[in-house]
Amino acid sequence: MGRAASALIKIRALLADGRPRSSRDIARELDWGFGATSQALRRAWEASVVLRTVSPIYETERRRRGRAGVATNLRGYHLYCISTGEKENVISNRRFVSFSKRYLDPRGGGGRSKAKAIREFLASNSQKAFYSTEIARKLSDIGVKTRDIMATVRRLEAQGWVYVRGYRTDQRQTPFKEGYLITWIDANKPREKAIEEAVQKTDATLAGRAATSAIINRVRRIRDVILMATKTRDLVSQSYIANELGCSEYEVESALQRALQLYPDLKIVKLFNAYNYYYHSSMPDEDLRAAIAMKENYIRIEKGRDNRVGHNWEAAVEWFVDKFTLGASFREQPHRTVGMDPRRITLHLVKSIGGRVSNAEVDRVWTVTPGLFSPPTTYVLSCKWGLVRRRDIDDFLNVLRWSKDFGVDTPEGRQLKQGVTGVFAASAFNPRENVVVNDQSMSLASYANRLNISLLKAADFNEKLREHGCKSSVTIQAICKAAKDEREVREVLEAIWHKPAEAEKTLTEIIEKNESLYSFERMLEKTSQI
């Protein structure tokens, strides 16, 4: 008996139970190689030993990539079942058919394959370069999709037929927004000349946009922004540069660090030991001193108030947590920065999140142990004074998941450790924002709950004050705006809680006491309302 006949007998015996299997399942159960199994099944199908699904089945596979997370790819495969002489069969709503040329899969040599169509398109349009998404659109009439392009292109690249270009970094190349840029290499010309022409074709397509990594593009634009500001005798802040570049504060922070390394003529000045401003070394000393004085005045007016109220909000949330949580033990951490609250915790990251390369801060961390035999629960707090959107929730969760302290690798990817709960406190959450997950629309609160993140709103704390007997004019927002620092927030809340009937009087006294601190702030606020 020949080897091919023996293989057919083994396949028939395995499928005799009537349960359809894929080629991968059959290879695993018969302990064969995947290539040999595919060839044997093709012969079995042609010999009418088995029936095959009329069209491939597609499913998404997930593979662990360690700290890089989970990679997904779309796998297409057929199922096979035993044939008892019939031409067709239906099992679990799937149609199985006997061999016919019209059922041949183009991937296996039947009809015009997508790979062949992609190759022919690139070869016949060798004078231009195309983005992968552009190729997919032009070949969509024969069923080519974006996911089909790069598998074929990488094979052609390995054979030296095409040139593939994307954003380049020191370690790898990533696609442009429209996908990788691809062009044909003329094999009839000397190799060096052919590659040079391929690069020129991609240069022509990329004209007017960055051809290197996104961060290098930002670095170049940062230098232009700083130079233009210097010509007008002005300093520029990090937030201004972020707005000009259209990226996040964290992304521009990394680009600024790189810009200062690459261009020694770019300078940084730190005002009030907290706020970074940038200028070019060509600015005269006299103009620099005048610009610094103007920025310091601006910071006193605008930034000082925002910073004060934001820190007061953190202290208010901490006070309520401490007041209403039995056995809460807050974690503390020493800091180099003078005056930084020891209860603000710096986390170490194993992956860059939002431009934060190795560290990220959370506002408070506390642990609650319900009982002697109950496992402790750790709560991690992030506060924001202002309107919160989905991206704020996602960013907070990513910081926790990718931190050494609270994240862990699992078969499903990077997750929070057991017993860790995120808490996000904000003065307001966007009530109009609906989050869509798997075609299901939900509120921001429902989305956060799904991620095991608790939301705390200023309205929740105000409700506690009302229940305790405080008038409606006494709100947590008013307390945060009135107190000069975090210590005073705690003192005011303690006084109000001790004598709720005198809460309004206590708040008025604090406002009068701190008149010299924020009278100008209130003047600006009134002016903006006119």
Do 66 and 99 belong to one domain? yes
More confident residue, 107 or 295: 295
Do 444 and 504 belong to one domain? yes
CB 186, CB 126: distance < 8 Å: yes
CA distance 260 to 269: 12
CA distance 294 to 104: 75
**Residue 299 resides in a domain:** no
**Residue 288 resides in a domain:** no
Residue 529's pLDDT is 34
Do 350 and 233 belong to one domain? no
More confident residue, 85 or 168: 85
Residues in Cβ contact with 409 at an 8 Å cutoff, skipping those fewer than 6 apart: 64, 66, 67
User: What are the CA-CA distances from residue 439 to residues 147, 434, 436, 442 (Å)?
Assistant: 22, 12, 6, 10
Residue 275's pLDDT is 79
96 three-state secondary structure: strand
**Residue 520 resides in a domain:** yes
CB 164, CB 182: distance < 8 Å: yes
For residues 284-298, give the mean pLDDT: 87
% of the chain beyond a pLDDT of 90: 31
Residue 13 domain boundaries: 3-108
Do 373 and 473 belong to one domain? yes
163 pLDDT band, cuts 50/70/90, is very high
CA distance 430 to 328: 29
Q: Which of 74, 108, 142 is the last residue of a domain?
A: 108
Does residue 384 register a pLDDT over 60? yes
Residue 84's pLDDT is 86
% of the chain beyond a pLDDT of 70: 89
**Residue 297 resides in a domain:** no
Do 321 and 410 belong to one domain? yes
Does residue 150 register a pLDDT over 60? yes
For residues 298-316, give the mean pLDDT: 78
CB 162, CB 184: distance < 8 Å: yes
More confident residue, 108 or 158: 158
Q: Which of 205, 227, 261 is the last residue of a domain?
A: 205
Do 77 and 8 belong to one domain? yes
Per-residue buried b or exposed e for 126-163, using 16+ beta carbons within 10 Å of the residue's own CB? eeebbbbbbbbeebeeeebeeebbbebbeebbeeebbb
Record the tokens describing residue 1, joined without a space: 């008996």
> Tell me, what CATH number does 196's domain have?
1.10.10.10
Do 451 and 319 belong to one domain? yes
Residue 391's pLDDT is 83
List pLDDT tens digits, range 176-187.
778 889 999 998
More confident residue, 173 or 289: 289
Residue type, 24: R
List pLDDT tens digits, range 415-454.
999 999 999 998 877 777 778 777 778 888 888 888 888 8
DSSP letter string over 103-154? G--GGGTSSS-HHHHHHHHHHHTTTSEEEHHHHHHHTGGGT--HHHHHHHHH
List pLDDT tens digits, range 59-84.
877 777 666 566 677 778 899 999 98
CA distance 22 to 41: 10
For residues 448-471, give the mean pLDDT: 89
Query: How does DSSP classify residue 54?
Result: S
In angstroms and rounded to an integer, the radius of gyration of the C-alpha atoms of the chain is 32
Which pTM does this prediction carry?
0.48
Does residue 479 register a pLDDT over 60? yes
CA distance 507 to 243: 38
Q: Which of 76, 108, 140 is the last residue of a domain?
A: 108
More confident residue, 354 or 148: 148
Angle formed at CA 167 by CA 401 and CA 223, multiple of 5 degrees: 90
Lowest-pLDDT range of 113-117, 155-159, 391-395, 485-489: 113-117
List pLDDT tens digits, range 204-262.
887 655 445 567 778 888 988 999 989 889 999 888 888 888 777 667 888 888 888 87
47 three-state secondary structure: coil
**Regarding beta strands 50-53 and 275-280, do their DSSP bridges make them parallel or antiparallel, or are they unpaired?**
unpaired
DSSP letter string over 250-298? HHHHHHHHHHHHH-TTEEEEEETTTEEEEEETTS-HHHHHHHHHHHHHH
Residue 242's pLDDT is 84
The CB-side HSE value for 237 (13 A sphere, CA atoms) comes to 14
Three-class HEC string of 204-249: HHCCCCCCCCHHHHHHHHHHHHHHHHHHCCCCEEHHHHHHHHCCCH
Residue 422's pLDDT is 92
> Tell me, what CATH number does 64's domain have?
1.10.10
**Of 448, 447, 391, nearest to 422 (Cα)?**
448
Does residue 293 register a pLDDT over 80? yes
**Of 256, 171, 262, 426, nearest to 248 (Cα)?**
256
List pLDDT tens digits, range 341-370.
888 899 999 988 877 778 888 999 999 987
- Residue ranges of the alpha helices (H) in 402-502? 444-450, 458-467, 476-482, 486-498
Do 201 and 220 belong to one domain? no
Cα 176–chain centre separation: 17
CA distance 121 to 236: 49
Tokens 């807050």 label which residue?
330
List pLDDT tens digits, range 3-51.
778 888 899 899 988 899 999 999 999 999 988 898 899 899 988 889 9
Domain count of the fold of the chain: 4
Residue 69's pLDDT is 63
Three-class HEC string of 451-473: CCEEEEEHHHHHHHHHHCCCCCC
CA distance 135 to 149: 8
Element (H, E) at 395: helix 390-401
Do 346 and 266 belong to one domain? no
Averaging pLDDT over each range in 28-32, 108-112, 333-337, which range is the top one?
28-32
Do 324 and 465 belong to one domain? yes
Element (H, E) at 199: helix 191-205
CA distance 209 to 225: 17
Average pLDDT of the chain? 84
CB 380, CB 362: distance < 8 Å: yes
